[in-house]
Structure 1
Amino acid sequence: MKYEAVVEVLLKDGVSDPEGVAILDAVVSLGYGSVSKVASGKLFRLLLQAEDENSAADVVSEIAERLLSNPVLEDFRVRDLVSSNS
């Protein structure tokens, strides 16, 4: 069965995020003073073949941990995992 997964990777709390700070400065300078924090990150969409949803989730988590994120600096979250006809 085919599955589509969306993986979100963000810096861990306490890790410096210069891109997020620069975006926040720009947002505030555009007049959006109600925004107090911006966190930059990465989003990955994977299409894979697996026997079932649990197997797909295991594979996606392993890929995210070993390749898509740096476990020292970043956390990842499998945001969506759905069966796909694509």
Structure 2
Amino acid sequence: MHLNHKDQIPPNPWEVFPEVDAGGLGSLQGNLEHWWQHCWWPYWLSRSPQQRAEWLADTRHPDDWREYVRLQCAFDGIDGEHV
């Protein structure tokens, strides 16, 4: 089964894994790693640079998770905030 990540919006990481402290999160492991690699990250990469920037600027999203996504963008060599 192939998911079209452009049409499906996964729930935010803190909604799926409320027990995870993104501020203390290092490498991904277990269920979080699987969900991140197969749901969240493909969706994230399908967003335009402007859409990613808007998500990162949205103060309704927890600061620690926004910073973690920025860190993952840096590791992956993509610019998450600039169009």
Scaled to the shorter chain, the TM-score interval is: under 0.3
Of Structure 1 and Structure 2, the greater helix share is in: 2
